[in-house]
Structure 1
Amino acid sequence: MKFFGKLCFGALLAASAMSTPAFAQDESAEIGEASGPLTLSGGISVTSDYRFRGISLSNEKVAVQPTLTLSHDSGFYVGTWGSSLPDSPAYGKFELDLYGGYATEIAPGTSIDVGVTWYTYPGSDDGGAPTDYFEAIGKLSHDIGPLSATGTVAYAWDQDSLGDDSWYLNLGLGYGVPNTPITLSAGVGYADGSLALTAPDGNYIDWSLGASYVLGPATLSVQYVDTDIKKTGVKAFDTLYDPTVVFTLGVSF
């Protein structure tokens, strides 16, 4: 039941469920300088609408999203990602994701990434009702020249804040246009379970098309996002998953 509340809190204010996509930190390009076996990378971005898995978690308003990751050359990493939120008693003003995992290349052009993310909301006050939860995420990626494909499986088991378990599957494609700083992207995902209760059937499909332009440490991206969630007739809810175009400007270090 938690996700329905998360997805609708923007309307109740007028969700913050999970970030993202994949791991939340994927939303920011990460460029770091190695110091021995460790690499520290991070960045900050401003997005016109914090959309996660097709749903607006910022009530269609601008969000600021910082990230920081510490990686070891063995493949293990830990980090944090955050996003500003519309103020609400249940979720406060900020989402904070803490994550850790292991990433490595298992064959030429093929990589895996497995980890766990903890989603927490500092400053929330909803009468003691839990909002934090954990999610396990696994990815398999393969590159063929400028084309890359990534399959993602995310699983959130039954927890106090969820009431039931939840699955999310995603297939994403990226194409780096040769001899340009432009990358084209497309993705389709399927959500089912407690984190998809905003959909009448308890499951839904989301998809996106986008492009990004890299100039030094800065990245400008534009993305069309949509879902197949049926309208409820309540405008405050329906606008959270209306088709939209999202603009994001990020700087990495």
Structure 2
Amino acid sequence: MTFKLNSRRRWAAALFSLAMPAAAQAQLVPNVSGGVELATDESRRGLSWSENQLSASGDASIGILGFDASARVAMTREPARHAGADTVFDVEVGHRLGIGALNLRGFVTGHVFTGAARNMDYVELGADGNFSFGPLQLNAGAAYAPDQGPIGGDNLYLHGGARVGIPTTPFTVLGSIGRTSGSTDDARAARLRPTGNYTDWRVGVEHSMGAITLGVDYIGTDIDTDRVVTSPYADLRHAGHRVLGRARLSF
């Protein structure tokens, strides 16, 4: 009996020693993803970043051991909001922590604009989280841009949203709401807050077919687009309600 028990223990120890390196190796395998997208507008926080015109973008990300890094480039079509920039590069690093169905993540994002008439680059710090329950996913987060010359002050964005997959269908319904606030040092603050603090929202539906996702969104803000502003960065023509279509190929 003792011999059999010791034998079982030795076998268990051997299997455990073999499994541990395999698990460690699995954690060290990077998760790489990316995609390309075509949208009728490069819209962020309810504001058009591409003169309400067609925009193409591409992105790639890599994650390992809870850390991740990503880069995205999108056409901006020389908007007044970004001093005539033709593209924006978003470079981000973050760290993710999972607690059951809850995922938390902190990140730093640099926004780099090419072709602009002056320096329009700025940096944001942020944190967000999402919670999944069956087909329902809830999310909330915050992004803060410290006081920087290119944005004419500081800027805080708080947001929350939800998305739910419709069972037995390829459709997902989504919605979100956000609030932008901050301080104003000069006219460049109108880039991210055209008339001051404001609220934005989005409702939409997506259709997924393998690596291809098609989506339609209705986007709105409570910005008074008829208000008279003096800042050349406000660009109130593209701060109101609109419908956006998009198509993405993931790989």
1:150 matched to 2:139 = yes
- The structure that is helix-richer by fraction is 2
User: So what's the TM-score if we normalise by structure 1?
Assistant: 0.79
- Matched letter for residue 56 of structure 1: S
Unaligned runs of 5+ in 2: 1-25, 183-188, 229-233
Counterpart in the other structure of 2:219:
225
Structure exhibiting the larger radius of gyration computed from Cα positions: 2
Runs of 4+ in 1 over 4 A off after TM superposition: none
User: So what's the TM-score if we normalise by structure 2?
Assistant: 0.79
Counterpart in the other structure of 1:99:
92
Within-5 A mapping of 1:6-45: 37-45=29-37
- Matched letter for residue 179 of structure 2: Y
Counterpart in the other structure of 1:240:
238
- Matched letter for residue 137 of structure 1: G
- Matched letter for residue 215 of structure 1: M
Secondary structure of 1:86's partner? Answer: coil
- Matched letter for residue 197 of structure 1: R
Within-5 A mapping of 1:104-183: 104-106=97-99, 108-126=100-118, 130-183=119-172
CA RMSD of aligned residues (A): 2.1
Give distance in 1, aligned partners of 2:211 and 2:157: 31
Q: 1:191 aligns with which of 180, 184, 194?
A: 180
Q: State the Cα deviation string for residues 114-154 of structure 1 (Å, max 9, x = none).
A: 1000000123333xxx2111001210111111111100101
Secondary structure of 1:165's partner? Answer: strand
Give distance in 2, aligned partners of 1:252 and 1:171: 25
Task: For residue 91 of structure 1, report the CA deviation from its aligned partner.
Answer: 4.4
Give distance in 2, aligned partners of 1:231 and 1:123: 27
- Matched letter for residue 37 of structure 2: S
Q: State the Cα deviation string for residues 27-79 of structure 1 (Å, max 9, x = none).
A: xxxxxxx995212110000001111100111111000010010111x110111
Equivalent pair of 2:51/2:78 in contact (CA under 8 Å): no
Secondary structure of 2:237's partner? Answer: helix
Identity %: 28
1:69 matched to 2:61 = yes
Unaligned runs of 5+ in 1: 1-33
Secondary structure of 2:153's partner? Answer: coil
Counterpart in the other structure of 1:19:
none
- Matched letter for residue 250 of structure 1: R
Equivalent pair of 1:91/1:121 in contact (CA under 8 Å): no
